[in-house]
Amino acid sequence: MDKIISSADADAYLARIGVPRPSVPDLAALRELHLRHLHAVPFENLSIHLGEEIVLDPAALVAKVTGGRGGFCYELNGAFAALLEALGYQVTRLAGRVMGPEGLFGPPFDHLALLVRTADSEEPWLVDVGFGRNSHYPLRFGERGEQADPAGAFRLAETADGDLDLLREGEVQYRLELRPRELADFEGGCWWHRTSPKSLFTRAVICSRLTDSGRVTLSDRILVTTGATGRQELPLAEEEILPAFREHFGIALDRVPQARRTSEGRGMS
């Protein structure tokens, strides 16, 4: 079983996302934690392009968050699981395979998502703060009809092999296995995503978070904002990139992350 973080680390984490410590690990608190996390902690792959080590250890992942950074799915959901367990929630780590742009699922352990039980509900909840444009709130894990969310209509559908597909607006996002996993089980998937030329994360620098009106994303040298006025793209000069990380994501870097281009890959948009 993964280690539970200290009370001090949990308090520092809560301060980062701007949420007071819940008195009870209930659904209302889980919903607030989920939403505020998406607003405060960016989905980013900067460590890959800065040559930083990625350690799938709860304490290390939480330290990265409390230190002002974000991460990709293993890091974000790994850290959030540690926080939830420290607050008294029951958390199960699940392995998923993401649906790619070619209509094919990625490799095993392609994604980490969470199954969470609260103190006031018999039904479990699908929690995922590490999948970019995903639901703003936890989803009912046992519900098979459409679930309305500010990010769209979501649905969980059983597969013939006993897995579970997550669909957004009718399109499969990823497929979950239902067997409980430990954080260490995702070491191979994490290594693949940070080293393989076939991984989307080695092809481009990406940093993105939810905002009150939409999203803000820095994809390579393009700052993309979406909101009430639609989508706007702003190309940045080299000297504007580090200030953009600080202004929009609260991330202070001493150098610009450089994407590793490959003959097999294209930049993300």
49 is catalytic: no
Question: What's phi and psi for 43, nearest 5 deg?
Answer: -80, 115
Active-site option among 2, 34, 37, 73? 73
Active-site option among 34, 49, 111, 193? 111
What number of other Cβ atoms are within 10 A of residue 36's Cβ?
17
Q: Cα torsion at 185, 77, 93, 49 (round to 10°)?
A: -20
Strand partners of residue 71? 43
Question: What's phi and psi for 31, nearest 5 deg?
Answer: -60, -40
Q: What is the 3-state secondary structure (H, E, C) of 49-112?
A: HHCCCCCCCHHHHHHHHHCCCCECHHHHHHHHHHHHHHCCCEEEEEEEEEECCCCCECCCCCEE
111 is catalytic: yes
Cα separation of 27 and 55, whole Å? Answer: 30
The alpha carbon of 228 is separated from its chain's Cα centroid by a whole number of angstroms, namely: 24
Angle between helices 187-195 and 73-86 (to 10 degrees): 150
Active-site option among 9, 128, 165, 220? 128
128 is catalytic: yes
Catalytically annotated residues: 73, 111, 128
